[in-house]
Structure 1
Amino acid sequence: MSGNVFIDIKKVNRVYRDTNGNPLYALKDIDLEIAKGEFVSIVGPSGCGKTTLLRLIAGLDRPQSGSLAIEGQEITRPSHEQGYVFQQSTLFPWASVHDNVAMGLKARGIYKGREDQVKNYIDMIGLTGFEKSYPHEISGGMAQRVAIIRALINEPKVLLLDEPLGALDAFKRIELQALLLDVWTKTNTTMVMVTHDVDEAISLSTRIVIMTPRPGQITDIFDVNLGERDRNNDDFIELRKKILEVLHIAISQPQVEYNL
């Protein structure tokens, strides 16, 4: 992908310490290149470092070694250019839908003259008529829609999604998967998503990154080249089978202990 690298992650290591002071590798030697406009999903067992990697891209954490850059600029801190959506919607309970969406623009002092943009984003996610509603007055799925556009309206260079649909029931989850795919298509925003759901990853992604248990490493990357995202399609089923086989192998491998 060299020559078209948008997010460049090189030899990244993130190490924590256990109660005895021994090192625990959350991430080890992570190399990943992401092109502009891609939708990349990161899949792996619990504790493999998926969210840690996402937090590093967001600038919410720093590696012990290695580098992360967006368009050649090293990531050193959080920024509106790295939008972040959590598993829970984390809306401000005292603010209406409109004010939640506009919050980032107001904090940056650029809200004036962009009121129509807030309206357009609310229209895009199908919540026209709920602008004055408060988080406790709308469903979890609606709240998560608001959280997604609250991050997108700041026009981030990358939108980071940490299991954004994990707390929803199966029907709402499929509904929001379609919405997220539609939003990605319309905005062409680079997106990186953490998920445990292989079908979700195939349905949304251009590429799927598979990680091993701790120490988290990238074991495989699958290109998603499907004519359609129908889960009953033979190509979809075959890709799911390949990914599940790799995940099973990764989970079955013994974890390496580091005593340095």
Structure 2
Amino acid sequence: MTALAEPRLAAGTGARVGSPGNATAASLSVEFRGVGRSFPGLEGERTVLRDLTLEVAPGEVLAILGASGCGKSTLLRAAGGLDTGNTGEILIGGRRVAPHDARTAVGFQEPRLMPWRTIHQNVSLGLPHGTGRAEGRERVDHLLELVGLAAHAGHRPREVSGGMAQRTSLARALARRPGVLLLDEPFGALDALTRMRMQDLLLDIHARTATTILLVTHDVDEALQLADRILLLGRDHAPDAAPGASARTVLTVPGERPRDRGSAELAALRSELLDGLGVDAHRR
């Protein structure tokens, strides 16, 4: 594996794509500088992240892998300003993250839709404050077309499948025109076939919007399909490691997307990742 000691990537503001009415915000860099996070516990303070430093380039897809409790979702929440108790510094586009940072949008494992609203109305909830009615309708119509739900705009959440509900959630996050899209196990509750279709959809969306994506996942194959790089989080068990110290590894995924799921090169990297997660890739 390649240790977390890579050249700094050039920060920037990315490029605006699409028509003026439907363009996403410029994709933004994300920089973690010595980030740490601890929580109080019954036996004292529990550290889940310590001194994490990493830069994500504008438009990059970074997958975050690791066992439960290693700080994946904590890191994602900190990047969006949803958790401000961390130490160190997080920058988006060169500026510090603000509480509930408007430059980001979050997609969760559950769609979290309002059951009494239509699909169109649920997506509209993601529009930035102050968006005009005509502009907002155009934006939502465009996003529903993008995620293949234009024909279901008037349906309620109970009238669509789980995969369609998750597509609605993704469209709602994109309605905010985020420079950084934060996804926390967004496809974890879906069946295997629907999950693969959603992965393909996310790649299509990324090709059209070029937004920076940070994706938390437990699925090694999903990370290999979607990411430019993979951040593997774990515990540092070295004798001289500080309590709660995090071991980090960053790996670059070879090949352009969409990737061949049967690639021998990806299979080798998959084994390396599983080994890093403490899983025997050859055990049946």
Partner of 1:248: helix, strand, or coil?
Answer: coil
**Pair 1:141-2:163 in alignment:** yes
Q: Which amino acid aligns with 2:31?
A: D
Q: TM-score, normalised by structure 2?
A: 0.83
**Pair 1:220-2:249 in alignment:** yes
Once the two structures are TM-superposed, the CA of residue 216 in structure 1 deviates from its matched residue by: 6.2
Stretches of structure 1 that go unaligned for 5 or more consecutive residues are 250-260
Distance 1:174 1:149 in 2: 18
Pick from 128, 146, 155: which aligns with 1:124? 146
**Aligned-CA RMSD value:** 1.6
Query: Match for residue 258 of structure 1?
Result: none
1:156-209 superposed Cα distances (whole Å, 9 cap, x missing partner)? 110000000000011110110100111111110000000000000000000000
Spell out the pairing of 1:1-260 with structure 2 (5 A cutoff): 1-2=7-8, 4-5=10-11, 6-20=29-43, 22-105=44-127, 108-114=129-135, 115-213=137-235, 215=244, 217-227=246-256, 229-248=259-278
Once the two structures are TM-superposed, the CA of residue 70 in structure 1 deviates from its matched residue by: 0.4
Aligned residues: 247
1:118-155 superposed Cα distances (whole Å, 9 cap, x missing partner)? 11110111112100101111111101001011011211
Query: Match for residue 282 of structure 2?
Result: none
Once the two structures are TM-superposed, the CA of residue 3 in structure 1 deviates from its matched residue by: 5.6
* Pair 1:218–1:186, CA change in 2 (3 A): farther
Contact between 2:47 and 2:245, CA under 8 Å: does it hold in 1?
Answer: yes
Distance 1:156 1:132 in 2: 25
**Structure number with higher helix proportion:** 1
Contact between 1:26 and 1:49, CA under 8 Å: does it hold in 2?
Answer: yes
Q: Which amino acid aligns with 2:259?
A: R
Distance 1:168 1:47 in 2: 22
- Deviating beyond 6 angstroms after TM superposition, the runs of 4 or more aligned structure 1 residues are none
1:71-97 superposed Cα distances (whole Å, 9 cap, x missing partner)? 121113003311000100001112111
Q: Which amino acid aligns with 1:118?
A: V
Once the two structures are TM-superposed, the CA of residue 213 in structure 1 deviates from its matched residue by: 3.7
Stretches of structure 2 that go unaligned for 5 or more consecutive residues are 1-6, 12-28, 237-243, 280-284
* Pair 1:218–1:54, CA change in 2 (3 A): farther
Partner of 2:202: helix, strand, or coil?
Answer: helix
Q: Which amino acid aligns with 2:54?
A: L
Partner of 1:129: helix, strand, or coil?
Answer: helix
Contact between 1:209 and 1:218, CA under 8 Å: does it hold in 2?
Answer: no
